[in-house]
Amino acid sequence: MSLDTAYADRRGSNRLGHTVELAGLALTAVFAVLALLFVVVDWLRFGGGPAGAAATGIFDQYIAAGAVLDTVLGTRVFESPGTIRVVMTGVLIGIVGPLVGTFLVHRQMALIGETLAHTAFAGVAVGVVVAGLTGIAGTRDQLVFIAFIVSAVAALGLQRLTEYTDSYGDVPIAIVLTGSFAVGTLLISMFRDRLAIGIDIEGFLFGQFAIVTVEGTRMVAVLTVAVVALVVVNYKQFLFITFDEQAARVARLNVRGYNSLLIVMTAVVVVGAMQILGVILVAGLLVIPAAAASQLGRNFRETLYLSVLFGQLSVLGGLFIALVGSLPGGGSIIVVAIGCYIAAVAVSDRSAGQLSIH
Amino acid sequence: MSTAVEVEGVTFAYGETVAVEDVSLRVAEGDFLGLIGPNGSGKTTLLHLMIGLKQPDAGTVRLFGKPAAAFEDGERIGYVSQRATDRSRSMPVSVREAVLMGRFPHVGHSRPGPADHDLVDEALERVDIADLAQRPIGKLSGGQRQRTFIARALAAEADLLALDEPTVGVDADSRTDFYDLLDELNEQGITIILIEHDVDILTEHVDCIACLNRKLYHHGDTVSFLESDAIADAYGSTGKIVTHDHP
């Protein structure tokens, strides 16, 4: 069969691709461990005692590594703890974003991420209101934490809405997306004067490295561990439901439960990633690496791995461009991700239109 | 012979529109039942009711003796919807992965073991697509794709196959092969419920026919169906039906 000959021809390049893939995954795992370790030492170093001292020692190693990178590049950005924190947060969201995104893309739920980002913005606004009315400080961390909760609740609401209307239709999505954004801007404008800190709407819209705080990074670390663990444990169920929801239902899988789990995971990932990418661009990190990986993956497991690799490449590449060139982080990450996608389409033997044909 | 599916006085409506009205029928284990009726006659709805995808507004459905809503052994039912075929075109899933899904209800959250992989290999061999195992499912022909879904049901060790127009868009030769495969599986004791709009294909392969247009117009063996006026009654004078004029 001619198709099989084509497969045989590709086998040589496949083996090379496989090696690159494995190396990339190993490197991603190392980055992930480094990032989680950083979060832990960043936390412990203020604790004092021997643990605090050890943590400070390790923390200084990160700073030293950043300084080496600065010397090589002739820059003065990577030695700052804030930059390292942003990069480490980026590593983590570069893993979990595409991880949940791959399931979303193949469920034709790509816009869910975008919608949940907008509800998260409403969540920030609710945080502003709560802080304004109760007189609590209203730190960015509290706002982000409230955004987590509002976004997760909104995700479940959206889930029920789509179940009721029996589709992830454009119309409910558009209403929730613009509606939550509208309410968010109104609330923030009305209540931000009552807050001790200045709330910069643009920071949430476009992402801002300054809003990546120690606590924010810690939240991302916790959600990363939780989301990766949940995907590993429920991989088969997610795969079955994504591939053939009705057959999964006939097989008596708890389709509704897994759908809710997936959408809540998406909500928390979006809020985590929003700190760097901003409300407007965050969905791109979920969708574009997954779309690129789908061009190349020969099976779903490989597609999932590739999406994480593309996500990592996009985040690290994008952050590098942004930090060295003093450019916005979100925009840089998404542009690199789209570069990956175009490259994947170019080397793929599949048509790019395939994904959008249902 | 024990009963695979028992439908009693079942009615189901989408809002005001009644899709299935007071239908009663019994599918014995080992039966090969064909569901036929005009477009929009409630065939798919009835199939969904039979396998517990929908709950009836009135009446009862029992699967292997248990109420369908409380039926837990989902792996006993292999279901191939038309929609499954659509999704599989764009999603990068290999044939082997798709067939392995048949084992998922069995293994739950644990890893599929060697025994599961053996069953997948057997299923792939059985439907004659073992050489395509690593191929992305989107690169298969329509007939090969349907065989993959049958293999998934076999890997699940399903004893009831529910197929919703499985050969739409499949070329004639592959279609014949596919129905021969279904005949073989049925001879081995697997119960099959099949929706098919082509009367000739249906009467050639199934041994029992339910003719539906909201209500049940006929339920009985193929010979009695052909002798009855069920088709004309169910389709009415304006109905369209696929028949071929050969003796």
- Each residue's pLDDT, cut to its tens digit, for chain A (358 residues) gives 444 444 444 455 567 778 888 999 999 999 999 999 999 998 888 888 888 999 999 999 999 999 999 999 888 888 888 899 999 999 999 999 999 999 999 988 888 888 888 888 888 888 888 877 776 666 777 778 888 888 888 888 888 877 776 555 677 788 888 998 899 889 888 887 777 666 677 778 888 777 788 888 999 999 999 999 999 999 999 999 999 988 999 999 999 999 999 999 999 999 899 888 988 899 999 999 999 999 999 899 999 999 999 999 999 999 999 998 989 899 999 999 999 999 999 988 765 544 543 3
Chain A positions with Cβ closer than 8 Å to B:
3-4, 7, 106, 233-234, 236-237, 239-240, 242-244, 246-247, 249-253, 294, 297-303, 350, 354-358
Q: Are A283 and A117 in contact (CB under 8 A)?
A: yes
Is residue B112 helix, strand or coil?
coil
**Domain parsing of chain A, residue ranges:** 2-44+80-356
Residue B70 clears pLDDT 90, i.e. is over it: no
d(C-alpha B143, C-alpha B139), whole Å = 12
Considering the domain delimited by A2-44+80-356, tell me its CATH architecture. Answer: Orthogonal Bundle (1.10)
Q: What is the pLDDT of residues B3-16, one digit of tens each?
A: 999 999 999 999 88
How distant, in Å, are the alpha carbons of A269, B42, B166, B174 from that of B75?
Answer: 33, 25, 19, 27
Nearest CB neighbour to B94, from listed A244, A247, A298: A298
Closest in B74, B98, B109 to A243, CB measured:
B98
* CB-CB contact of A204 with A279 (8 Å): yes
Contact: B84, A244; criterion CB under 8 Å: yes
Give the model confidence (pLDDT) of B156-181 as tens digits: 999 999 999 888 878 888 888 899 99
Q: Tell me, what DSSP letter sits at residue B245?
A: -
- Angle at which helix A110-134 crosses helix A255-296, to 10 degrees, equals 120
Domains and CATH numbers, chain B: 3-235 (3.40.50.300)
Inter-helix orientation angle A81-106/A255-296, to 10°: 100
User: pTM to 2 decimals?
Assistant: 0.89
Taking residues B62-91, what's their average pLDDT? Answer: 82
The ipTM (two decimal places) reads 0.89
The distance of Cα B225 from the centroid of its chain, to the nearest Å, equals 20
* Cα(A88)–Cα(A92) distance, integer angstroms: 7
Question: Can you tell me the distance from the alpha carbon of A191 to that of A260, in angstroms, rounded to the nearest whole number?
Answer: 32
A76, A254, A349, B180, B243 from B144: Cα distances, Å: 59, 29, 20, 14, 26
Is B92 in contact with A240 (Cβ distance < 8 A)? no
Q: What is the DSSP letter of B72?
A: -
In whole angstroms, what is the distance from residue B64 CA to residue A167 CA?
Answer: 32
**H or E element that contains B24:** strand B17-28
Partners of residue A18 in chain B, C-beta under 8 Å: none
Tell me which DSSP letter residue B35 carries.
E
For B97, the closest of A237, A250, A299 (CB atoms) is A299
- The residue with tokens 């459905």 is B61
Q: Which helix (H) or strand (E) holds B125?
A: helix B114-126
Taking an 8 Å cut-off on Cβ atoms, the answer to whether B107 and A236 are in contact is: yes
Residues facing residue B66 across a β-bridge: B63
Tell me which DSSP letter residue B21 carries: E
Whether residues B84 and A106 touch (CB distance < 8 A) is answered with no
- Of B92, B109, B152, nearest to A233 by CB-CB distance is B109
Query: Rounded CA gap, B78 and B76, in Å?
Result: 7
Largest CA distance in chain A: 73
Supply B148's token pair. Answer: 């993959």
Q: CB-based contacts of A285: which residues, under 8 Å, 6+ apart?
A: A93, A94, A97, A98, A101, A273, A277, A311, A314, A315, A333, A334, A337
